[in-house]
Amino acid sequence: MGGLAGGFLAAVAALVVVTLVTGGRNAPPPPGAQVPVVASDSHYLSDAGPDAPVLVEFLDFECEACAAAYPLVEQIREEYDGRLSVVARYFPLPGHANAENAAVAVEAAAGQGAFEAMYQRMYATQAQWGEQQQSQADLFRTFAADLGLDLAAYDAAVADPGTLSRVGRDLTDGQALGVQSTPTFFLDGQRIEPTSIEDFRAQVDAALAQRR
């Protein structure tokens, strides 16, 4: 697994940090506003119950570093199944032309109970659609078809301004929490910067130990 960790670190090192430019739609909350790391409508990839530590990732599906971190997050989910809750929150960066489209597609799929399946599909295919300047919305629709989703309902969700607004709420929460690049992780409300799978395990183990 050292190769995976090395790939993650290399991708993070090569990542150009994008400074967020906010417009009216995504204006951050006023200073001092209380913003939860986990919102009431956040998507749980793993739910170990109210007494478990919670790992939250703010992610961008077009981000290469997020794709490199994805196998590590999946490994942590597997190793701590039933003991660790894992939450994914959207944070599409403005420098990625299809990051927002991808998040909207995943959120539309979530309306049919397919959040995780579409989340996984985005990372599995990132090399196919990432770094494209033209919209990849039609390709994302084929992913929905491949997953057996009701395409009429999917199309309606993609077109619904509420879907984009849902993505935007994650983004503005992240901004208020100080997120500026992806992936950004929080463990039990505190930002962490794991440097390897071993470091990831150590920090999760420490969070678990605090509950004993």
Select from 38, 47, 115 the least CA-distant residue to 81. Answer: 47
Q: What are the chain's domains? A: 43-210 (3.40.30.10)
CA distances from 46 to 11, 27, 125 (A): 25, 30, 22
What's at 153, amino acid-wise?
A: A
Cβ atoms within 10 Å of 10's Cβ, excluding its own: 13
Each residue's pLDDT tens digit, 167-194: 999 999 999 999 999 999 999 999 999 9
**CA 178 to CA 201: how far, in whole Å?**
24
Indicate the pLDDT class of residue 92, thresholds 50, 70 and 90: very high
Q: Mean pLDDT, the chain, as a whole number? A: 89
First to last CA, the chain: 29
Each residue's pLDDT tens digit, 120-151: 999 999 999 999 999 999 999 999 999 999 99
Buried b (16+ CB within 10 A) or exposed e, 103-142: bbbbbbbbbbebbbbbbbbbbebbeebbeeeeebeebbbe
pTM for the full predicted model? 0.87
**CA 36 to CA 21: how far, in whole Å?**
22
How many CA atoms lie within 13 Å of 204's alpha carbon, on the beta-carbon side? Answer: 26
Q: Are 59 and 91 contacting, i.e. CB atoms less than 8 angstroms apart? A: yes
